[in-house]
Amino acid sequence: MARSGYVNLTGRLAWPNSKRPAKRFPMRHYLGHLATSDPLHAYLRDAILPQFWEVLREPRWRVYRVAVESDVYLYEDKWSDGRVVGKFYARARGLNGSNTPQSAANEYRNLEYLRSLGFTAPPDYVARPLGVNATLGDLLVIEYLEGEQLDAVIEAAALVGGRDRLYRKLGGLARFLARMHNTTAGGERVDFSRTQAYFDRVVAYLGQSGGIEARRTERLRGLGHAYAARAAQWEDVQVLVHGDATPSNFLFGRRQDVYAIDLERMHRDDRVYDVGRLCGELKHCFLRATGDAGQAEPYIGHFLWEYAGYFPDRERTFAAITDRLPFYLGLTLLRIARNGWLDDGYRRHLVHEAKTILKGGL
């Protein structure tokens, strides 16, 4: 059941996500076969495939594109059925709130580190990195994981009545994030100025790209800076955050099993950096599916209450998280408003909702 005492702090939101919706991972678009003369063919054959499959004959790699907004591909060997995912970092990346280097080696280290903390078996599992090759377009290769994306679970709840299933999956995701955050909590306090600087960069980008006019840019910047005066934004300790907690970056297995597949933006920050983004994603998905973002509220309440249940004082944790939530919701909405593939009216709507959320939280 959803937390009955949840107060709607978010209003009517739209999707804070820089990626287009996807149903499952990977969402395959067949491109053909990898040429045997391609250096990548030899790398996959000699360095990757032997890690999990005996190589009895020359591989024949089918290639599928699995991400529209980035260079991510599925490679499937016709003979062994071995599958791996390749992610090329050579292409320019977008704005990054973590200020961490966007590279194959960086994500490889992130995956390895989180796995070293015990995220190597269900119900909480992090994809196994298999290799890095800087000379092949700064390539990261990870294991292929089959699972259902959160987008599909939300859509089913919105359109065909899979409400209880969404509650279960959100409970699993709350457990995963709480375990990740609590395992990595340290003594250093949150440096809110770093996230506020990211907020400023997002707002500046919107102003420069024509997403918002100068007057509104200044108003948004002022609202963002007003949060720096709130002690609550600085009071928690830093934890390791996923950094891009969107539906496309988590897969679901049986029951409440959760698989994390993308850790390129992992860094130390406020735990609400993750929690707030996921809540915004829920609002967007319901808005897109039903036209009513308010239908996400019971699920947001449930997710926050389940997350807070992994702390000694559940009520106090729930109150602290919801108190800090508006800034991160506003930031998330502005992030999605940057995307040029959205129509101008929708982008303006996102900016308006972000401003409403930010004002309401002060």
Using only C-alpha atoms, what is the Rg of the chain? 21
Q: What is the pLDDT of residue 4?
A: 29
**Partners of 65 in beta bridges:** 29, 73
**Partners of 75 in beta bridges:** 63, 84
Are 326 and 361 in contact by the 8 Å Cβ rule? The answer is yes
SS3 200: helix
Which residues have a Cβ under 8 Å from the Cβ of 324 and sit 6 or more positions away? 232, 233, 236, 270, 272, 276
For 351, phi and psi rounded to 5 degrees? -65, -40
How far is 342 from 123, CA to CA, in rounded Å? Answer: 36
Q: What is the pLDDT of residue 98?
A: 62
Full pLDDT tens readout for the chain, 362 residues = 333 232 333 222 222 233 333 334 446 789 999 999 999 999 999 999 999 888 889 999 999 998 766 789 999 999 988 999 999 998 756 556 666 668 999 999 999 999 999 999 999 999 999 999 999 999 999 999 989 988 889 889 988 887 899 999 999 999 999 999 999 999 999 999 999 999 999 999 999 887 688 888 999 999 999 999 999 999 999 999 999 999 889 999 988 999 999 999 999 999 999 999 999 888 778 877 887 878 888 999 999 999 999 999 999 999 999 999 999 988 988 998 888 887 888 788 888 888 988 999 98
Burial 74-107 (b: 16+ CB within 10 A, else e): bbbbeebebbbbbbbbeeeeeebbbebebbbebb
Entry pTM: 0.88
Largest CA distance in the chain: 65
Are 265 and 243 in contact by the 8 Å Cβ rule? The answer is yes
Lookup result for tokens 């739209």: 14
How far is 314 from 180, CA to CA, in rounded Å? Answer: 17
Sheet holding 29-33, edge to edge: 29-33, 61-65, 72-77, 83-88, 139-143, 129-133
Q: Which helix (H) or strand (E) holds 289?
A: helix 272-290
CA atoms within 13 A of residue 302's CA, in its CB half-sphere: 19
Q: What is the pLDDT of residue 99?
A: 63
Cα dist from 284 to 31, 95, 281, 329, 346, whole Å: 31, 21, 5, 11, 12
Q: What is the pLDDT of residue 283?
A: 79
Which residues have a Cβ under 8 Å from the Cβ of 160 and sit 6 or more positions away? none
